[in-house]
Amino acid sequence: MKAKFSIPAHGRPQHLLLFAAVILLICSFFNYSGQIDINLQDTYYVISYTILFGGIALALLLYWIIYLVGNSLLPVKALSWLHISSTIITFSAFGILTTSHQLGITASAHSHDALADFKKQMQWINFEGYLFIAAIVAQLFFIANLVTGLVKKITSPPIK
């Protein structure tokens, strides 16, 4: 006899946020030796991967709590699915791509490959910029769903 295992996520997509947050939090404990170095003009930032993954997991956990508390104000399930899936994909992709690629030019200025390295660096920065824009658009799905729910709640007649 086969064991029947199913996750009823079709009606509650917000539980995927909790699952992704737990996975990213676990990943943050295993990747504790790396760091990302960001050099902005005269300021140098060093962020460890533990903090990066933990911050992304915290953001996903915050969204999960918002979905649990405000579930009655989010009536359109398709927008919820779109928001949750695109948020998880963009946040996770940003975390994974950031850990696999260091910001900064690795070749010296006298190297013949400095221009090729610079072009490759700019492609990564452009891709991360597009990923950031996709994350902002993903948050607009949540706002659209929330506005739809508020309008529906305001315009509906009161229950007596």
Per-residue pLDDT of the chain (160 residues; tens, 9 = 90+): 565 545 555 567 888 989 989 988 888 887 667 777 777 778 888 888 888 888 889 999 999 999 898 888 888 888 989 999 999 899 888 877 776 655 444 444 455 666 676 677 677 777 878 888 999 999 999 999 999 999 988 888 777 6
Q: What is the pLDDT of residue 38?
A: 73
Q: Report residue 50 as tokens.
A: 């533990």
Q: What is the pLDDT of residue 100?
A: 64
Tell me the pTM: 0.71
Q: What is the pLDDT of residue 76?
A: 87
**CB pairs under 8 A, 24+ apart, for 96-99?**
97/124, 97/127, 97/128, 97/131, 98/36, 98/52, 98/128, 99/31, 99/34, 99/36, 99/49, 99/52
Domain ranges of the chain: 15-105+112-155
Residue 140 burial (CB count, 10 A):
13
Distance CA 147, CA 156 (A): 14
Q: What is the pLDDT of residue 105?
A: 41
